[in-house]
Homo-oligomer: A and B are copies of this chain.
Amino acid sequence: MMTEGSHSRSGAAQVVFTPSGRRGRFPAGTKILDAARALGVDLDSVCGGRGICGRCQVVQSIGEFPKHGVASRADHLSAFGPIEQRYHDKRAPLAPGRRLGCSTEIRGDVVIDVPPDSQVHRQVVRKRAEVHAIRVDPVVRLHFIEVTPPDMHEPAGDLRRVEAALREEWGVEGVRCDLAVLETLQTTLRSGEWRVTVAVHGGRDVIGVWPGFRDKAYGAAVDVGSTTIAAHLCELSSGEVVASAGAMNPQIRFGEDLMSRVSYVMMHPGGEREMTAAVRVAIRGLLHEAAAEAGIAPEEILDVTLVGNPIMHHLLLGLSPVELGQAPFALAVDAAVNLTAGALDLGLHPGARAYVLPCVAGHVGADTAGVILSEAPYLRDEINLVVDVGTNAEIVLGSRERMLAASSPTGPAFEGAQISCGQRAAPGAVERVRIDPITLEPRYRVIGNEAWSDEPGFAAAGGAVTGICGSGIIEVVAEMYLAGIVDEDGVILPGGAGRSGRIVEDGRTFAYVLHRGDVEVRVTQNDVRAIQLAKAALYAGVRLLMDRLGVERVDRIRLAGAFGSHIDVKYAMVLGLVPDCALEHVTSAGNAAGTGARIALLDRSARPEIERTVRRIEKVETAVEPRFQAHFVEAMAIPHKTAAYPELAKAVVLPARKSARAGGEGVGRRRRRGRLR
């Protein structure tokens, strides 16, 4: 390459690459791929410039030179040649104008465009566009190499000649080789006639070798929840999810919730081994299922990333969770764990690796690390609140300046547990509720039925109602409040019983009957209390972090996890689960923990990034913070007015008022008015 400042002379051509803008002068005859490499232009190649992989496709930009005004002519590149023709005929048709950078020569001044699919560091767009796209630069890369055959006069072993090819063709230096690769190396080199594809992990470990050319490698991101396990199988070079699978966590038979699993180990020393085996078998099954769905062999999976809460994390790794069940909640290891997938008995490629994201603290695990990686509050200027609600709520608050995290003991009410008619989110569970503030009659929707209960399609679709799930219980309590059935203190007011048959005596308190049928679904005073306790715990945890950070409000709230995906954030605001925030800035983050695992799978730079980030997060232990109790007590009441009120009013409260005004005064009118004043 000649520098740009050198004189234009016979045989030297100026090349400009877009979109990078990198430019340089090269002798006529230089291959585009070589020019791109010399300039550090991000142009992919797996086959090392042999016209096999088609990853280095480029397009000649027709038109003016950006600065110098030199026309970029068609004959400034070599003609479409036999290697391109062979690729086009035998492997995949080349779109019009597309050229293979490895076999096209520069003949004169040209502008070359590298389309996004030819860039190594391409990106996959995530479904929700609020956050950054995932950069695809996986830890495992495939390299096609041609290895020098052995020579009696130069006694280098086969591996040393593989290393030489990696160094010379790919600039990959100082690799180590798995023993399992060595076992097949000699036969693979000979069956591939000295042309093989090797998989290199982290630019360092040779973990696989196959005869001939190969350009697909797979990885899986696994979210190990205490209830369910979900796996996404990705093609590593495109970042595309090719299959997904989910299953119940079989550890449930040792205990429904986390603490009962810890108790199991306390009462059955060594019991962690059974649970470890159970979860590994389940993950192995999921990965094999996903592989079958994608039409690949499990041995094609070369990398796995895993997230889970601290207890799931320990049980996955075969570590006793006993210390996590008692103060001071010491993790065996909080750093990220790198190991072979074989150490977890996952039945994948013999060289497959596994990466378990780091934990933040004894109550805030690798799942939260995944959420943090996915939401990246540490890259933002504004104050972010990220809440992942499960049995505990993991709370992360902060910005690029400073990050705090805590876990708050919400209990399982938000998941529909410990609610009289509660159930898991499954077909038949009430998930949406509206209550007419005049008649106090409800309308609702159940999972698995698109119609509302007062629409004709409801009965047609079966109309079965089996209980109420987490998002349904939030909505019904909020609607009961808006309809004046419960007051700010969460008391189901006795006055309603006279106005509507829906409000019934229930021992010494009252209950609201949401559904009558084979199964009666009612909301009792205890249910409202359970929701109040849960939301108070969540809110108190958030307040504690806000106190510590010294902020009175947050700029943006993200609700992660299954709960966050299903609840209507407006109702979360009405009940005061989270602090004041402009409504449009309160959104669901989906399965952010799983997304974080996928990011760690696809983007090698994400691993050191989350490892660094997790270490600088300040952990707040709610259990020993005296102010937690005070915040908790305060947060029991349903809030009067929030900063989000104008929007909430428009979306939820005003329609209710309007409806109430049209039909006469509702039970809770005075109180509601007071609230709206």
Contact = CB atoms under 8 A, between A and B. Distances in A.
Interface of A: 150-160, 176-177, 179, 182-183, 185-187, 317-320, 322-323, 327-335, 337-339, 343, 359-362, 364, 619, 621, 623-624
A155 B335 CA distance: 11
A333 B152 contact: no
Contact of A155 (B333, B339, B362): B362
25 contacts: A150-B329, A152-B362, A153-B624, A154-B619, A155-B329, A155-B334, A155-B360, A155-B364, A155-B619, A156-B334, A157-B330, A157-B334, A157-B359, A158-B330, A159-B334, A160-B334, A179-B337, A179-B339, A182-B317, A182-B319, A182-B337, A183-B318, A186-B319, A186-B322, A186-B332
Contacts of A621: 152-153, 155
A25 to B, nearest CB: 40
B330 A150 contact: yes
Given A151-B328, A153-B621, 6 more contacts: A152-B362, A155-B334, A157-B330, A158-B332, A158-B333, A186-B330
A159 B332 contact: yes
Contacts of A185: 332-333
A152 B332 contact: no
Nearest to A339: B179
Contacts of A182: 317, 319, 332-333, 337
A44 B621 CA distance: 42
Contacts of A343: 179
A187 B320 contact: yes
A148 to B, nearest CB: 11
Contacts of A623: 152
Given A152-B624, A327-B152, A621-B152, A157 B333 contact: yes
Contacts of A153: 619, 621, 624
Given A186-B320, A317-B179, A318-B179, A331 B152 contact: no
Contact of A150 (B155, B183, B328): B328
Contact of A323 (B176, B186, B319, B333): B186
A340 to B, nearest CB: 9
A345 to B, nearest CB: 12
Contacts of A327: 152
Please indicate which of the listed interface residues A150, A318, A330, A362 has the most CB atoms of chain B within 10 Å of its own CB. Answer: A330
A279 to B, nearest CB: 15
A225 to B, nearest CB: 21
Contacts of A624: 152-153
Nearest to A331: B157
A414 to B, nearest CB: 24
A160 B361 CA distance: 12
A319 B189 CA distance: 14
Contacts of A187: 320
Contacts of A150: 328-330
Contacts of A323: 158, 186
Nearest to A330: B150
Max chain B C-beta neighbours (<10 A), residue from A152, A153, A323, A337: A152
Contacts of A335: 157, 159-160
A472 to B, nearest CB: 35
Contacts of A328: 150-152
Contacts of A338: 176
A155 B331 contact: yes
Closest 8 CB pairs of A and B: A155-B361, A157-B334, A150-B330, A157-B331, A152-B328, A159-B333, A155-B619, A150-B328
A271 to B, nearest CB: 14
Contacts of A320: 186-187
A360 B155 CA distance: 8
A178 B335 CA distance: 13
A343 B364 CA distance: 35
Nearest to A320: B186
- A150, A338, A339, A343: most-surrounded residue (chain B CB, <10 A): A150
A560 B351 CA distance: 40
Nearest to A187: B320
A362 B186 CA distance: 13
Contacts of A329: 150, 152, 155
Contacts of A158: 323, 330-333
A274 to B, nearest CB: 15
Contacts of A160: 333-335
A211 to B, nearest CB: 15
A382 to B, nearest CB: 26
A333 B619 contact: no
Contacts of A333: 157-160, 177, 182, 185
Most B CB within 10 A of own CB, among A187, A332, A339? A332
A323 B360 CA distance: 51
A265 to B, nearest CB: 12
Contacts of A322: 186
A139 to B, nearest CB: 17
